Amino acid sequence: MSEDKKISEIFLKTLSDFYKDSDVIFREFDEMRDKYLDGKAVMEDFKRFRSKRPSIFLLIYDIFYKEVELEEKLGKPEIEEAKRDKILEFKDRFSDLADEIDLLVLGESGLGD
């Protein structure tokens, strides 16, 4: 049963890192979002962020493109409400960057051409 699935330690660590570093992460994404809204390219910024924080970049991708799976994990009792709220805040605040993040992931997997 999916309710009995344990959450991986890697996911829990990534979520904790995201929460602990959220001020810095939000600031970086605010800068990227501002550039994007000004019509400037942000792909290189995403690549730089991903190279510095690969697991957090994947978590961010999951926020937008693996919503059901992520919501199941976030609904588990071992996930603190503050961490859930921070993920939702990120999703709401940076939803306009979701397509750009997807283009990066798809492009690098050969599916975006």
**pLDDT band at residue 67 using 50, 70 and 90 as cut-offs:** confident
What's the average model confidence in pLDDT over 86-109?
88
- Alpha helices by DSSP H, the chain: 9-20, 22-37, 43-52, 54-65, 67-74, 81-93, 98-108
Element housing 7 (H / E):
none
Rounded Cα gap, residues 19 and 81, in angstroms: 11
pLDDT at residue 3 greater than cutoff 50: no
Phi, psi of 6 (to 5 degrees): -85, 150
pLDDT at residue 93 greater than cutoff 80: yes
Q: Which residue has the tokens 């009995």?
A: 4
